[in-house]
Amino acid sequence: MAFLDHIRACNAYSLGDFVPFRVGPARAGWIRRELSLELRRFGSLFHVFEDLVHLEPNLRTAADRTEAVAEALAVLAEDGVIGRLRGEMYPVIESLGAEPLFDIDRGVATEFGIANRGFHLNGLVGEGADTRMWVARRALTKSTFPGRLDNMVAGGHPAGLSARENLLKECAEEAGIPEDLAARAIPVSMVSYTMEVPAGLRRHAFWSYDLRVPADFVPQPVDGEVHEFLLMPVDEVARIVETTDEFKYNCNLVIIDWLMRTGRLDPEHPDFHALSVGLHQPWP
């Protein structure tokens, strides 16, 4: 195990089993061929070709597309073709900063290979060699990666919220961080990757924030997403990332990014260049 192994794991994919999903001229995502064939049951809503799925062009507005696609997804979920719908909507975008083409249920973001935004927050105590990092252990009952280590706070980016609004909301819900303290978080970088998983294609990009919290502040699990919070020396955090899989897969990238930004991983490291490039991969 090495730092670079986590980068490679998060950027392992092949498009050979996928077809692009387009809305007008925009490429909205990537869909497995097997799933694309299931979309033929919805008549002209999805124009399904051998190498392309195209959403009905007569759906002129984002609202119309959102409604039509949601009706189809409800049928697919009921039939067990796709995973469980979450009831939380994510914007479908072609690129960062682009206007949403429509909104889609979070539960099928991977099946449709949409560009999925979010954020991760490093909770830090102290300065220099005495720096410690708050680490969350995910709830033991979570459906994904139960009991794994995680960043202090992290979350996807739902439709209708600004980055700041989402940050403040998740900080309060996951860790009980007061708004005036959470507002001090500094956006410091963006990490991106594309990862093939059994369900489909994860195309993720997330803002990384640093938040220095007072030594007497202790985060508290609020919404059941976290089992416990642990305050660790950063050298111990780095050791865990470099030698184990104890952290949820993409949290490793956030910590590697932090180690590089703070000089704890410097150009003398043999993988410095590969790590730098690997943290900021463009989406297919």
Tell me the pLDDT of the chain averaged across its residues.
96
CATH top-level class for 15-112? alpha beta
31: left (phi over 0), alpha (psi -120 to 50) or beta: beta
Tokens of 106: 């979070």
**124, 114, 90: which is closest to 208 by C-alpha?**
124
CATH top-level class for 3-11+116-278? alpha beta
pLDDT in tens, 167-180: 999 999 999 999 99
What's the rounded mean pLDDT across residues 198-214?
97
Residue type, 135: V
What is the predicted pLDDT for the residue at 258?
98
Does pTM surpass 0.85? yes
pLDDT in tens, 41-81: 999 999 999 999 999 999 999 999 999 999 999 999 999 99
What is the predicted pLDDT for the residue at 280?
95
Residue ranges per domain, the chain? 3-11+116-278, 15-112
Q: What does the alpha-carbon distance between residue 251 and residue 167 come to, in Å, rounded to a whole number?
A: 16
What is the predicted pLDDT for the residue at 52?
97
DSSP state, residue 195 = E
What is the predicted pLDDT for the residue at 135?
98
What's the rounded mean pLDDT across residues 135-143?
95
Percent of the chain with pLDDT over 70: 100
Which residues, listed in sequence order, are joined to residue 117 by a DSSP beta bridge? 205
pLDDT tier at 17, thresholds 50, 70, 90? very high
**111, 148, 107, 181: which is closest to 252 by C-alpha?**
148
pLDDT in tens, 84-114: 999 999 999 999 889 999 999 999 999 999 9
What is the predicted pLDDT for the residue at 3?
98
pLDDT in tens, 220-264: 999 999 999 999 999 999 999 999 999 999 999 999 999 999 999
Q: How far is CA 16 from CA 9, 19, 31, 191, in A?
A: 18, 8, 11, 25
Are 4 and 253 within 8 A, CB to CB? no
83: left (phi over 0), alpha (psi -120 to 50) or beta: beta
